[in-house]
Amino acid sequence: MSTTSVLRKKPAKQVTKLMNATLQCTELSTAYGNCVMKNYQNMTKDACLQEFMAYKKCVVKHLGRGF
């Protein structure tokens, strides 16, 4: 197996892992998206921080160690 083929598999595996983690957090991603949509015309820094942090925490939890 060549070095090139080994390097190609790792990013694909990471993308799959990230995709699966985000699929476990759909309710939180929807809440974050709704907050952004509600505030998009008058967005301020940290306007949706609470929703984003909850979503991020969920994704990181499902990614596990070593991502």
Q: Which domain holds residue 34?
A: 3-63
pLDDT at 10: 78
Query: How many whole angstroms separate alpha carbon 67 and alpha carbon 17?
Result: 8
Using an 8 Å Cβ cutoff, are 58 and 28 in contact? yes
The yes-or-no verdict on residue 23 having pLDDT over 70 is yes
How many domains is the chain built from?
1
Has residue 6 got a pLDDT over 80? no
Tokens of 11: 């990013």
**So what's the pLDDT on residue 35?**
97
Average pLDDT over all residues of the chain: 88
| 3-state SS, residue 29 | helix
